[in-house]
Structure 1
Amino acid sequence: MGGTDPSAKITEQHCFAKPTPEAWITEIAAATMIHPGAVLVGHSPGAIAIARLLAHGPQIRISGALLAAPIKPSRSPHTRRFGQIPPRSAACVAQARTDGQVLTQRSKCGQATRRCDGRINLVLAPRGADKARTIVADQVIDGGGLRRDPVTDATPVIRDLLTCGAARLDPLRLSLDTTPDAHVINKTGQPSRCIFEVGPAARGALSEITAIPDIREQTFRLANELLSTGAEAAPGTP
C-alpha cells in the first residue's frame, strides 16, 4: 500500500531478525501523533504491535485499523515477546460482531462494480448457499493473494527470462518455476546455476513465502549455498 498510495506513510521498523515490541509500538505511536486520524495497517507482527498499542493507549487518535494475518508469536523465539492479541482488543472485535459492525462469512467473491455515488456493489456467493447476494460497500480490500498473469503482467526482466528460455512458469502458472533451494528452472527443465528466485516470486514452488521470517530463512540458505559452492555458471548453462 505504501508503494502505490501516495497518501500512505510507511513506519520504518528496525531489526526484523530480532523485533522488539516496545520499539515497534513506540514507532507506531509516534506516527499517530504526526498523522492523527490515520488508518493503521499492520501485517504479521505489525498487526500484533498495533493491537497492543490500541489496548494500552486509549488516547491514540485513529480512524480505524486493518490487522492482516496476525502472527502466533509463540511459534518463533524471534516473535515470542509480542504475545497474543490483548484481551481488550479481542473483546472489541467480539463486541463489533455482536453490534453488527463486523461480519465474518466464507464466500466466493464475484464482480465488484462502482456505483454512481462512489460506493461499490460487491457480489458474494456464500458457501452452501444456492444464490449469490449483493452488498454495498465503501471499500473492498482483496486479501486473496496475487492473481496477476505472470506473462502479460511480467516485469521486463521476467519477460526476458521467459522469452529466451532461461526460465519457465511453474505448473500452476503463479510465477517462475524453481527448485526448493531457489534455483530458477529453464524451459528444458534444468535448474540454473546462476539465476535464483526468493520471496513471493517463488510462490509457485514454495507456496506461502510472503512473510519476513520465511523470506529471511530462504535468503539465508541461499547465501550459505553461494558462499560454499559459488554461483559460476558452466559454459552454455543459463
Structure 2
Amino acid sequence: MKSFIIVGGGASGVIMAAQLLRRGGRVVLFELTGQIGAGIAYSTENPNHLLNVRAGNMSAFPDDPDHFFNWLQACGLPPREGGWEKQSFVPRRLYRNYLESLLQSYLDAGDRRLVIHQDEIVDTMLEAGKPIVVTESGKRFSADVVIFATGNEPSVTSSGSQVSEYWTSNGMFDIAPDQTVAIFGTGLSMVDSVLSLLDRGHQVPIHAISRRGLLPARHTVVVPAVIEADELSFGAPLSRLMQTVRVMIRKTTKQGGDWRSIIDGLRPHSQKLWHHLSLADKQRFLRHLRPWWDVHRHRMAPEVADRIDKARQTGQLIIRSGYLQSVSQMDTDMLIRYRNRYGNDVTELRVSTIIDCRGGNLCFSVTRNRALLSLLERGLARPDQTDLGFDVTPELKIVNAMGEAANPLYAIGPLTKGVYWEVTAIPDIRVQAEKLANALCATD
C-alpha cells in the first residue's frame, strides 16, 4: 500500500486525497487552518457568495458527474428559492461542506488510511531518495510520494487598519455602512466584496477601480459550441489564434447565437492551445489579454449579476477605469490618485477604507508559503517559464532546478497553471486528480 503526503487541504488537496483513498492509498493531509475544503475560494460564510460554475458540473469525480448534485439533494440543506437544479449556482460555503464530506466518511468509519494534521509544512527534503516533510512543530513525516496542492497564491501586499486584502479576509469586512469604500480591482473578488457590503446595509458609494474597468460577464444558459481541433491554430502566433476566435464569435452572433457558446466550446482545447503558444505569446497574453479572457471566461451567476447591475444603476457602485498613481493617508481618510484610462488627467478620490481585490500573487517565485519556498531554496523545484507556479511534467512531477523530474514530488491544481493555464476550476482539477491517482496507484 503506497503512502502519500498531501500539502494543502483546500479543494485540490481534498479531491486528490479522495481519489487516492478510493484506490487504497494511505494519506496524510496537512492543512494549517484546520478547515478542510475551504481554501481561499470556499472559506466564505456569506450565503450570497455563489459558485460561478453550475451545480451539475461541480462533481469531484469525472466518472460520477452527478456526485455533487446528488449530495446536494440528499444532505437535507434548505434549497434556495425554486429548489436545487443542475443549473443552480450554489453558495460556496455549501461546496466547502461537500468537499469536507468526501473525507469525513473515512474519518467517521475510523479508517486509519487517512490522517489529517493541523500543522504547517516548513521544509521538504530527500533522504535516500525518499521525501521527508518537516512541520513548524519540528515533527518529521515520510511517505512514498508528496503532493503539493496549496491552491492559489495570495497576493504579496500589505494590509493596515484602513486597507483590507480580499483573499485573506474571507470576504468579510468590518466596515461601517456610512464609510466610503474604494475597491482595487473589478473582477469576481470585487463582486463578492460589494455583495458583502450590501448585505451589511452599506449606504454610501462604493468605488471600484481597475486599469480597464472590466466587469465579469453574466452567465446565461448556452450550449457549448462543438469546435474541432482542426478549426484552431495550434502552434500559430497568438494574433492568429485571436483572429480565429473573433471570426467564430462573429459568425455565431450573426446567426443569432451567443458568444458564450464559443468561449465554452474552447474549453476542451484550452490547455493544448496554451501549451503550443510561444513563451513570448504567453507573456503577451498575460500582459494584455488576460483581463479580457477572465471577464468572459469566469462569469457571474445571474442573481449576482442582477444585484451588481442594480447597484450600478442606483449609483451605489461606481466603476472607474484608470492607472493607480498613489495612495496616501489624509487625516482619518485615504487619498487615492489615479490617471484616467482615456486621458492624462489625474483624479483624486478620498475614501474611508480600501479593499484590495487585485487577485493573487503574480510572481510565484516570491511566494510566502514556506512549504513551497523550501522546495525552491533547496533546488527541488523551479518556477515555470511564466512564473505562475511550479514547472511540472505532463505527469505533474515537479521539475527541479537542474531541469530534472527525478524525485517523487508532485503538484496539482493552481500550482500548475503556468504549464496548463486552465486548471483553477473544479472541472479541470478533478481530471488532474483522477489521472494522477491512476498513475500513482497503478503499480501498487
Same fold (TM over 0.5): yes
Contact 1:184 1:191 in 2 (8 A): yes
Q: Which SS does the other structure have where 1:112 is aligned?
A: strand
Is 1:182 matched with 2:396? yes
Post-superposition offset of 1:167: 0.7
Partner of 1:85: 302
After TM superposition, list the pairs within 5 Å mapping 1:97-136 onto structure 2.
97-117=312-332, 119-136=333-350
Is 1:62 matched with 2:276? no
Tell me, in whole angstroms, the C-alpha distance in 2 between the residues paired with 1:208 and 1:140.
Answer: 30
Post-superposition offset of 1:40: 7.1
Aligned equivalent of 1:202, options 416, 422, 428? 416
Contact 2:324 2:337 in 1 (8 A): yes
Which runs of no fewer than 5 residues in structure 1 stay unpaired? 32-38, 52-60, 78-82, 231-238
Q: Which SS does the other structure have where 2:438 is aligned?
A: helix
Contact 1:176 1:184 in 2 (8 A): yes
1:100–1:72 distance in 2 versus 1, CA, 3 Å: closer
User: Could you tell me the percent identity over the aligned residues?
Assistant: 21
Q: Deviations over 1:31-78 (max 9, x none)?
A: 9xxxxxxx879x98xx89xx9xxxxxxxxx93169xx9688475799x
1:25–1:91 distance in 2 versus 1, CA, 3 Å: closer
Partner of 2:368: 154
Q: One-letter code of the match for 1:199?
A: G
Aligned length: 194
Q: Which SS does the other structure have where 1:201 is aligned?
A: helix
Q: One-letter code of the match for 2:381?
A: A
Q: One-letter code of the match for 2:403?
A: G
Q: One-letter code of the match for 1:96?
A: A
Partner of 1:54: none
Q: Which SS does the other structure have where 1:158 is aligned?
A: helix
Partner of 1:166: 380
1:76–1:200 distance in 2 versus 1, CA, 3 Å: farther
Contact 1:175 1:204 in 2 (8 A): yes
Contact 2:218 2:305 in 1 (8 A): no
Larger RCO, structures 1/2 (Cα 8 Å, 6+ apart): 2
1:214–1:10 distance in 2 versus 1, CA, 3 Å: farther
1:3–1:181 distance in 2 versus 1, CA, 3 Å: closer
Tell me, in whole angstroms, the C-alpha distance in 1 between the residues paired with 2:39 and 2:437.
Answer: 27
Post-superposition offset of 1:197: 1.1
Contact 1:40 1:62 in 2 (8 A): no
Contact 1:199 1:215 in 2 (8 A): yes
Q: One-letter code of the match for 1:85?
A: P
1:155–1:179 distance in 2 versus 1, CA, 3 Å: same
1:173–1:110 distance in 2 versus 1, CA, 3 Å: farther
Partner of 1:137: 351
1:71–1:170 distance in 2 versus 1, CA, 3 Å: farther
1:76–1:215 distance in 2 versus 1, CA, 3 Å: farther
Q: One-letter code of the match for 1:214?
A: D
Contact 2:396 2:436 in 1 (8 A): yes
Tell me, in whole angstroms, the C-alpha distance in 2 between the residues paired with 1:23 and 1:213.
Answer: 25
Greater shift after overlay, 191-200 or 104-113?
A: 104-113
Q: One-letter code of the match for 1:154?
A: R
Q: One-letter code of the match for 1:98?
A: Q
Which runs of no fewer than 5 residues in structure 2 stay unpaired? 1-37, 60-67, 82-89, 95-170, 174-186, 203-214, 225-299
**TM-score, normalization by structure 1:** 0.58
Post-superposition offset of 1:189: 1.6
Post-superposition offset of 1:156: 2.6
Q: One-letter code of the match for 2:321?
A: R
Q: Which SS does the other structure have where 1:128 is aligned?
A: coil
1:91–1:25 distance in 2 versus 1, CA, 3 Å: closer
Post-superposition offset of 1:140: 3.0
Contact 1:180 1:206 in 2 (8 A): no
Q: Deviations over 1:92-122 (max 9, x none)?
A: 53343233222233333443334431x3323
Contact 1:40 1:64 in 2 (8 A): no
Q: One-letter code of the match for 2:302?
A: I
Tell me, in whole angstroms, the C-alpha distance in 1 between the residues paired with 2:302 and 2:443.
Answer: 44
Q: One-letter code of the match for 1:179?
A: T
Q: One-letter code of the match for 1:165?
A: G
